[in-house]
Amino acid sequence: MKTDVLVLGAGVAGLAAARDLHDAGHAVVVLEARDRVGGRVWTERSLAPHPVEFGAEFVHGDRAATWPLLDRLGLATRLWPKCDDSLVHAESGGWRTMTRLRAEDDAFERTRSWNLPDVEPGPYEDFDSYLRRVGFDDAQLRYVRRAFANACGEAPERLSAAAILAGFRDGEAGEGDFRVIDGYDRLPHALAEGLDVRRRAVVRRVACEGRGVHVTLDDGTGMRAHAAVVALPLGVLQSGAIEFAPSLRALKGDALAGIRSGAVVKLVYRLAGPPVEDPGVSALYAAGTPPMWWSPSTGPTDLPVWTAFVSGPAAADLLRYPSEVALERALDTLRVELDRPDLRAVSGRVIAWPLDPFARGGYSHVLPGHAARRAGTTCEGVPGARALLARPTPPLVWAGEATAPEGSAATVHGAYVSGRRAAAELSAVLA
């Protein structure tokens, strides 16, 4: 079988590319290893009376690139409140609201403001070293680890300071985090409508042959196309599960050495009751593991859903245990820190993205020494790992959140934009 374009992966990046190419008149076939579309967007509807996100959960920013699509689809959203009394910080034996913590803990207020001096990071400097150099003390760094670094998917000493600061400076997506009320998977389902998506099509080999591409599936089926969009998760590319000819090393050089897919784990609970009495509290940070908890349930409700989020080394450690043990150990953190020994879960699920063979991690981060160099700095104009990964290698073009610029990488809107960029690159080749 031969077509114009093969798209490898039916996550948001692959579907965005396929949608644009299909609408431009090209014959497109999408190959997806799972039995569903969406990739790391995974909405579960059997756990509670409302959708629960096992994967990506938020639209990050009130100007994110996916808003026009969400609006066109008529998908309602809700702002996630993360300030004042809706978010609490737990310590051993109790908790404090954001308002109280800001008033009582100067280290927290200084950390929350991110009022960083105009000091350029070194090209090989990690984020922990940079923060210490600009004056962050141990108390502030404790909050960084608990919240920001955990959200980044890795310990701060494994994050590129230059990449993190580039993301801070971008600001293009705006402020706030928003939930899609009817479920985030509505977005990839809409993108996939009318497309030729082959589910359970596990790619094992991608070969550039002559002026085209030959893709082999795990059942031996071969497919040919004039070109292909590689929209596979970073962790899958790095795992070696798919053979490329020429090799990934030949195609991408050092790009894959400078970027990683973070170990991200979600533990989703249906609790017998709310962890704190105030129904306005929708999120909390814990001192132990997992450090981040939030609830997609709204208002007073029986059996509320709470999601624990943990990444990096702490996530890897938690995955050493069977699911039942991991769920109990994580819930013990809340029992101790909220002084709630009676806190009980009716049910729970561990969503271990590093163990998913079609993801092999959560989302990407850049290692020290592999970020793009800013104008006016040493080695100005040297591309970073993300730009190298995104660079076209005809007849292959590359998409996915890991290929997006720092301000939008590791997000759904970054994946979406990368797919559209890849489609534009390929359209130029096919013209």
Task: Give the DSSP H/E element, type plus range, for residue 310.
Answer: strand 305-311
Q: pLDDT-based confidence at 376, cuts 50/70/90? A: very low
Q: How far apart are CA 10 and CA 22, in angstroms?
A: 14
Q: What is the DSSP string of 265-292?
A: EEEEEEESS-SSS-TT--EEE-SSSS-E
Q: Given this model, what pLDDT does residue 170 score?
A: 75
SS3 145: helix
Lowest-confidence pick of 109-123, 134-148, 150-164, 183-197: 109-123
pLDDT digits (tens, 9 = 90+) for 193-211: 999 999 999 999 999 998 8
**Alpha-carbon distance 141 to 152, whole Å?**
14
Chain-centroid distance of CA 320 in Å reads: 22
The percent of residues above 90 in pLDDT, for the chain, comes to 71
Percent of the chain with pLDDT over 70: 94
pLDDT in tens, 267-298: 999 999 989 887 778 888 888 899 999 998 86
Only one residue has tokens 């899958």, namely 236
The CATH fold assigned to 2-41+183-259+366-430 is FAD/NAD(P)-binding domain (3.50.50)
pLDDT at 210: 84
Contact 327, 267 (CB under 8 A): yes
Report pLDDT for 92: 65
How many helices (H) and strands (E) would you count in the chain? Answer: 15, 22
Q: Quick one: tokens of 49?
A: 């009376």
- Which of 86, 32, 65, 49 lies closest to 284, judged by CA? 86
For tokens 């409140």, name the residue: 81
Per-residue pLDDT tens digits for 12-41:
999 999 999 999 999 999 999 999 999 999
Residues 66, 75: contact at Cβ < 8 Å?
A: no
pLDDT of residue 374 exceeding 80, the answer is no
pLDDT at 329 over 80: yes
- For position 379, what pLDDT does the model report? 46
Rounded distance between C-alpha atoms, residue 7 and residue 151, angstroms:
29
Mean pLDDT, residues 394-401 taken together: 98
Q: What is the pLDDT of residue 300?
A: 60
Q: How many whole angstroms separate alpha carbon 123 and alpha carbon 255?
A: 16
pLDDT (0 to 100) of residue 86: 67
* CA dihedral for 238, 130, 176, 293, sign (positive or negative): positive
Q: Quote the pLDDT of residue 83.
A: 62
Instruction: Specify the higher pLDDT residue, 360 or 105.
Output: 360
Total-model pTM: 0.94
Residues 261 and 269 sit within 8 Å (Cβ to Cβ): no
Query: 95 near 287, Cβ under 8 Å?
Result: no
- Tell me the C-alpha distance between 122 and 105, whole Å: 30
Highest averaged pLDDT of the listed ranges 73-87, 92-106, 191-205, 329-343: 191-205
Q: What is the DSSP string of 160-209?
A: BHHHHHHHHHH-TT-S-EEEETT-TTHHHHHHHTTSEEETT--EEEEEEE
* pLDDT at residue 299 in the model: 59
Residue range(s) in the chain whose domain bears CATH number 3.50.50.60:
2-41+183-259+366-430
Pick from 129-138, 324-333, 411-420: least confident: 129-138
What is the residue-averaged pLDDT of the chain?
91
Report residue 84's pLDDT band, with 50, 70 and 90 as the boundaries. low
Secondary structure element (H or E) that encloses residue 225, with its range: strand 222-230
* Cβ neighbours for 346, distance < 8 A, ≥ 6 positions apart: 270, 271, 272, 303
For 386-413, give the DSSP string.
HHHHHS-BTTEEE-SGGGS-TTTTTSHH
Q: Does residue 85 have a pLDDT over 70?
A: no
Lowest mean pLDDT among 141-145, 156-160, 266-270: 141-145
pLDDT at 377 exceeding the cut of 60? no
More confident: 300 or 88 = 88
* CA separation for the pair 29, 18 (Å, rounded): 8
Which candidate, 392, 399, 400, places its Cα nearest to that of 430? 392
Secondary structure class of 2 (helix, strand, coil): strand
pLDDT at 162 over 80: yes
